Amino acid sequence: MKVQEKYLINLESSMLTSEYDSFGNQNTRLLEGVRSLLIDEKPLTIINDSILFYGSNLKGAIKGAKSIIGNHNMSPIAVHSAQNIIWFPCKGIDHADCIWFAYHNIENILKIDAYTSMVILKHGHRVVLDMKFHLLKRRVSIAGQLYIQLKNRNSGTFTYFVDSNGGFHVCKETGHNYYTFRKRGE
């Protein structure tokens, strides 16, 4: 399989996780649409570079998510809030076996047994996790909260009422270093 050097997360990206080559180098295995890709970068590098491309960074995305949905361990993040691309980790982000999922590409989650769950993604992908179902369900639910909040914020319409006779006249008076504000019509 050919290894790509760089990758940016997009709407078709579904999940990513670490994969080590025969020399012990950490790469990223990623599902995009119907394809499986191997990227010559660490998962957090791909995530941070993608967030940077869309105008923020990983630290800012975590901080922003926590300000919207509250302080949660392993918080979901907005990779691109305008397109509602929300990702969440299944373990601590520094764990080598952490899998990240794109919330919008999850079709279902299933309990396999007491300690194992399955994530069913678009395009028929199935990912089996060593994770209790109630923990997975909670992570998906929290990611859903961020998704809904950002979707509402991004699609909201704003109505402004302007009084054509109102407002202020702002100007700098001759000989002054500051501006004065006067109600129009006065």
Structure token pair of residue 155: 């699609």
Q: How much is the pLDDT for 65?
A: 95
**Which parts of the chain have pLDDT scores under 50?**
none
Q: How much is the pLDDT for 63?
A: 95
- The sign of the dihedral angle between the CA atoms of 55, 60, 62, 65 is negative
Q: How much is the pLDDT for 161?
A: 56
pTM of the model: 0.82
Q: In sequence order, what are the beta bridge partners of 89?
A: 100
Q: How much is the pLDDT for 164?
A: 62
Q: How much is the pLDDT for 171?
A: 76
